[in-house]
């Protein structure tokens, strides 16, 4: 088998920045690199065209009675800015200590290669391994995967034949304690603008009778949470399914305490919503957050005005069983009812994303109709992680969102097995992104065992 480190370095050298029109050459080169790698491993490959950046599809066919697994990854990366904060060139991967540095090493090219090479090693040792594989590597994950729903609709008849999805695009706490992610939060986003006078007004001549849009916006924002930190929108929590005892126990085993976490963030105190501690609120609770607020004069010194408008960007992170459209309607209704007099309200809603949840086998809330291949894959992953890492994985809900996982569930009806192969130390989306080489080797070994076990 080829040198995994060299493959990752060669892959990372292509600046595949999906959001940058000037990076088209790097996008094409990165796509072709992973396509050629899969071809060299014996896969039948094709380029699935989309309105923006194509996907790479690769297949290993076999008997229809064999388990069929979809592998997911993405070849696009975040921009490397600010370049001056990198210790080495972001697209000239460099090994320092036990890490390889470069944009995309951890998100997602390194973990993706570990998964693919683990499969390659299993096939090298067992050429007749009775497992069908479909690999799909997209090029738009870092810009929200706008073409992915259309791709799923177009190829759903082929992809629905699979039993489950396996990917490594989630986080683990350390290289010694990995996590299998069991849930991802959904998302609802909107922007609220309050319009006051037609133009900015002199505050001395008009202050008093004219409602200041900034004051109105501050009052409106403050009304969306209660004194206990919970979202004060009627019905916001109606469909929330609280975590089971085993999920709280798994989280409690996470090697992180609130004191260290608080210190690392540089905040004086945590203010989680009532009913959750700080770590639980990130994993288990839905949220409503203000992401940006603006209005009036922003330059040096003062400018005594009543601004003509003020606006705020709001996002809600949603947990399993919450419908983004339902939450959108409830939040917008609350905003309309609480909007102060004297201003005109404008709400602009962005696209939402469903939350996703999967329950491992053998739990009190495991679905009774869980497909046998899904249960077998989770068991194989559990056993493989124990063998390679010397301890079982933690099964944790994730605070972030990966919208395509819920889309796959909705369109294809498939669950996902998500092994975290990057850690907080890897600086995702930041300068000096890196990937731990020990975790790379352990990831390859783990996946070799998983695919071998699936073929038994």
Number of H helices, E strands in the chain: 13, 18
Confidence tier at 202 by pLDDT (50, 70, 90): very high
> Where exactly are the structural domains of the chain?
4-184+355-454, 187-240+286-349
Mean pLDDT of the chain: 96
Coil, strand or helix at 113: helix
Predicted pLDDT of residue 1: 62
* 366-372 long-range Cβ contacts below 8 angstroms, 24+ apart: 371/163, 371/164, 371/415
Copy the structure tokens of residue 47. Answer: 């380029």
Res 70 pLDDT > 80: yes
Q: Is the link from the previous residue into 82 a cis peptide, with omega within 30 of 0?
A: yes
Res 351 pLDDT > 80: no
Question: What is the percentage of the chain residues whose pLDDT exceeds 70?
Answer: 100
Res 368 pLDDT > 70: yes
Res 201 pLDDT > 80: yes
Q: Do domains 4-184+355-454 and 187-240+286-349 have the same CATH topology?
A: no
Res 87 pLDDT > 80: yes
**Cβ-contact 76, 148 below 8 angstroms:** no
- What CATH code is assigned to 187-240+286-349? 3.30.70.360
pTM of the complete model beyond 0.95: no
Fold assignment, 4-184+355-454: Aminopeptidase (3.40.630)
Res 330 pLDDT > 80: yes
Write the pLDDT tens digit of every residue in 90-147. Answer: 999 999 999 999 999 999 999 999 999 999 999 999 999 999 999 999 999 999 999 9
pLDDT mean over 363-372: 96
Residues 6+ apart with CB under 8 A from 76: 16, 17, 18, 27, 30, 53, 138, 139, 140, 141, 142, 143
pLDDT mean over 255-266: 86
Per-residue DSSP letters for 392-406?
PPEEEEESS--HHHH
Predicted pLDDT of residue 258: 86
Predicted pLDDT of residue 222: 98
pLDDT mean over 33-44: 97
Res 260 pLDDT > 90: no
Taking the CA of residue 49 as centre, how many other CA atoms within 13 Å lie in the half-sphere pointing to its CB? Answer: 1
Lowest mean pLDDT among 310-319, 350-359, 377-386: 350-359
Write the pLDDT tens digit of every residue in 274-318. Answer: 999 999 999 999 999 999 999 999 999 999 999 999 999 999 999
């Amino acid at each position: 088998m080829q040198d995994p480190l060299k493959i990752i370095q060669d892959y990372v050298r292509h600046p595949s920045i999906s959001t940058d029109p000037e990076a088209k050459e790097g996008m094409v080169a990165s796509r072709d690199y992973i396509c050629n790698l899969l071809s060299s491993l014996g896969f039948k490959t094709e380029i699935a065209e989309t309105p923006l950046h194509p996907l790479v599809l690769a297949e290993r066919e076999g008997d229809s009675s064999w388990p069929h697994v979809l592998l997911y990854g993405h070849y696009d990366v975040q921009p490397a800015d600010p370049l001056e904060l990198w210790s080495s060139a972001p697209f000239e991967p460099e090994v320092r200590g036990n890490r390889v540095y470069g944009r995309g090493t951890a998100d997602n090219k390194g973990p993706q290669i570990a998964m693919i090479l683990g499969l390659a090693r299993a096939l090298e040792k067992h050429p007749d391994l009775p497992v069908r594989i479909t690999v799909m590597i997209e090029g738009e994950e870092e810009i929200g995967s706008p073409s992915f729903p259309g791709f799923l609709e177009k190829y759903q008849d082929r992809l629905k034949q699979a039993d489950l999805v396996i990917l490594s695009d989630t986080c683990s706490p350390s290289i010694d304690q990995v996590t299998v992610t069991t849930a991802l939060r959904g998302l609802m986003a909107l922007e609220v603008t309050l319009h006051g006078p037609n133009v900015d007004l002199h505050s001395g001549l008009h202050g008093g009778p004219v409602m200041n849009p900034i004051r109105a916006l501050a009052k409106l924002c403050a009304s969306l949470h209660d004194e206990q930190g919970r979202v004060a929108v009627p019905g916001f929590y109606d469909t929330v399914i609280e975590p089971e005892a085993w999920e709280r126990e798994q989280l409690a085993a996470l090697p992180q305490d609130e004191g260290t976490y608080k210190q690392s963030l540089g905040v004086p105190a945590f203010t989680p919503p009532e009913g959750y501690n700080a770590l639980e609120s990130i994993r288990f609770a839905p949220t409503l957050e203000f992401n940006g607020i603006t209005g009036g004069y922003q330059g040096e010194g003062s400018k005594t005005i009543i601004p003509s408008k003020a606006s705020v960007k709001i996002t809600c992170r949603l947990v399993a069983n919450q419908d983004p459209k339902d939450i959108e309607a409830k939040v917008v209704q609350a905003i309309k009812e609480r909007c102060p007099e004297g201003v005109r309200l404008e709400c602009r809603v962005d696209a939402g994303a469903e939350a996703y949840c999967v329950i491992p086998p053998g739990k009190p809330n495991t679905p009774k109709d869980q497909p046998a291949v899904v249960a077998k894959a989770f068991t194989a992953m559990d056993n493989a992680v124990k063998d390679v890492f010397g301890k079982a994985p933690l099964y944790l809900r994730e605070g972030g969102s990966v919208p395509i996982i819920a889309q796959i569930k909705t369109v294809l009806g498939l669950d996902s097995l998500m092994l975290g192969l990057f850690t907080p130390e890897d600086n995702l989306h930041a300068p000096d992104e890196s990937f731990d080489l020990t975790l790379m080797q352990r990831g390859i070994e783990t996946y070799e065992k998983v695919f071998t076990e699936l073929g038994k």
